[in-house]
Amino acid sequence: MTDLRSILVTGGAGFIGANFVRHVLDHTDASVVVLDKLTYAGDRRTLEGLSPTRCRLVVGDIADATTVDEQVSGCDAVVHFAAESHNDNSLADPSPFVQTNVIGTFQLLEAVRRHGVRFHHVSTDEVYGDLELDDPSRFTESTPYRPSSPYSATKAGSDHLVRAWTRSFGVQATISNCSNNYGPYQHVEKFIPRQITNVIDGVRPRLYGAGANVRDWIHVDDHNAAVLQILTRGRIGQTYLIGADGEKNNREVVEMILDVMGQPRDAYDLVTDRAGHDLRYAIDATTLRTELGWTPRYQDFRAGLAATIDWYRTNEAWWRPQKAATERKYAAAGERPLSGEGAR
């Protein structure tokens, strides 16, 4: 296993990055520097309680060359989570997506190239576009890129930059493309936490369109265990798809949330669909499983979901400050009920 003493984690105050920091502190002896701009999606409270001798937060922008050079020069590896991550926001204003996801990744690549630092790029299955609902196939490492939204197009662009810097300049990089994550510390704008916190607030969950779109759910800890294995044992230049065989349509997920929370399973509203809404994502993680021996620990989605619901019930102080502004953003984007009680 590669000996990594100091890891720079970009976006480490966000959902997956912060869970990754905890995973690294729990499973290795490495120390971590988090580089995070603390956008609306980043929260320093998410890192509270972590050892100050092993984890330090630097507030800064990955698109700022000077900041990036300073932080990259002192570390053994960079794990790059920082991004604008929400599809709906990218439809309202794509500009920060291009700036952070493309220019930010470019600045990091230039810095790791200058300093000879190992780089792992965290990306998404959305770069492959979508599959038909009745198509039995799944995404593999050789599926052609076909991104649909401004978000996924900028992530696809960042993946291409990483591959070009690896081939042209010998940067020591790996890439992972993961499916939809759930778990603690996810922003309330995202599907699962939005519906859990709606139910807590006595508001009916909101399904886009007919609720038939399929996502391939994975617990954030399983994603992060895979990222750490790829960082320490992955082949340079290789792309790994990360997924846990967790396909569910959105209606099934909402019904399960309502059921676990003691509500009638049909107590949701159908609302305006997302423009260009990808139909289905599905990951074939054979390379990761066979090459690195990774297997997901969270095989029971209902149990993982119930634990996540408990977390949001117990940690209202963490998400409450974001909730009203998030719902105002959806209302301003024109979201309105098409069926269900809200439409009457």
Q: Could you tell me the smallest distance in angstroms from the CB atom of residue 250 to ligand DAU?
A: 5
Binding characters for ligand NAD, 134-173, by CB under 6 A (x = yes): ---------------------x------------------
Picked from ligand DAU, ligand NAD, none, the partner binding residue 122 (CB below 5 to 8 A depending on kind) is ligand NAD
Answer yes or no: are the C-beta atoms of 197 and 263 closer than 8 Å.
no
DSSP string for residues in 110-146: HHHHHHT-EEEEEEEGGGG--B-TT----B-TTSPP-
Q: Per the structure block, which two tokens stand in for 253? A: 């997920």
Q: Which does 215 bind (CB under 5 to 8 A by kind): ligand DAU, ligand NAD, none?
A: ligand DAU
Binding partner of residue 16 among ligand NAD, ligand DAU, none, CB cut-off 5 to 8 Å per kind: ligand NAD
Instruction: Measure the CA–CA gap between 250 and 212, rounded to whole angstroms.
Output: 6
133 three-state secondary structure: coil
CB closer to ligand DAU out of 24 and 241? 241
Active-site annotation holds for 36 = no
CB 156 within 8 A of CB 306: no
Q: Tell me whether residue 232 is exposed, middle or buried, using C-beta atoms within 10 angstroms of its C-beta: 0 to 12, 13 to 18, 19 or more.
A: middle
Minimum separation from the CB atom of position 164 to ligand DAU (A): 21
User: What backbone phi and psi angles, to 5 degrees, belong to 45?
Assistant: -65, -20
Residue nearest to ligand NAD (CB): 14
Which CB, 263 or 322, lies closer to ligand NAD? Answer: 322
What token pair was written down for 65? Answer: 């060359």
Instruction: Please give the C-alpha separations between residue 127 and each of 2, 29, 131, 143, 221, in angstroms, as whole numbers.
Output: 29, 33, 12, 10, 22
The active-site residue out of 128, 151, 182, 208 is 151
Residue 128: active-site member: no
Q: Are residues 151 and 98 in contact, defined by beta-carbon separation less than 8 angstroms?
A: no
Q: Report the residue from 47, 57, 63, 173 that binds ligand NAD according to the rule CB under 6 A.
A: 63
Distance CA 309, CA 204 (A): 16
Residues in the chain, overall count: 344
In the complex, which residue's CB is closest to ligand DAU? 124
Interface residue with ligand NAD among 87, 166, 181, 195 (CB under 6 A) is 181
End-to-end CA distance of the chain: 60
Q: Is 50 exposed, middle or buried (0-12, 13-18, 19+ CB in 10 A)?
A: middle
The minimum distance between CB 170 and ligand DAU, in angstroms, equals 28
State which of residues 10, 28, 67, 85 lies at the interface with ligand DAU (CB under 6 A). Answer: 85
3-state DSSP assignment of residue 270:
strand
Figure out which of the listed residues 139, 208, 217, 294 binds ligand DAU, where binding follows CB under 6 A.
Answer: 208
Give the CA radius of gyration of the chain: 19
Give residue 153's identity as a one-letter amino acid code: A
3-state helix, strand, coil in the chain (%, to 5): 45, 15, 40
Residue 13's beta-bridge partner residues?
A: none
Work out whether 105 is an interface residue with ligand NAD (CB under 6 A).
no
Task: Tell whether residue 219 is a contact of ligand NAD (CB under 6 A).
Answer: no
User: Is 151 annotated as catalytic?
Assistant: yes
Binding string, 236-275, against ligand DAU, x = CB under 6 A? --------------x-----------------------x-
Q: Select 23 or 274, whichever has its Cβ closest to ligand DAU.
A: 274
Candidate list 9, 21, 30, 83; residue touching ligand NAD; CB under 6 A: 83
Q: Which residues pair with 10 in a beta bridge?
A: 35, 80
Q: Which of residues 9-48 bind ligand NAD (CB under 6 A)?
A: 10-11, 13-17, 36-39, 41-42
List interacting residues with ligand DAU (CB under 6 A). Answer: 85-87, 124-126, 179-180, 190-191, 194, 206-208, 213, 215, 250, 274, 281
Residue numbers annotated as active site: 125-126, 151
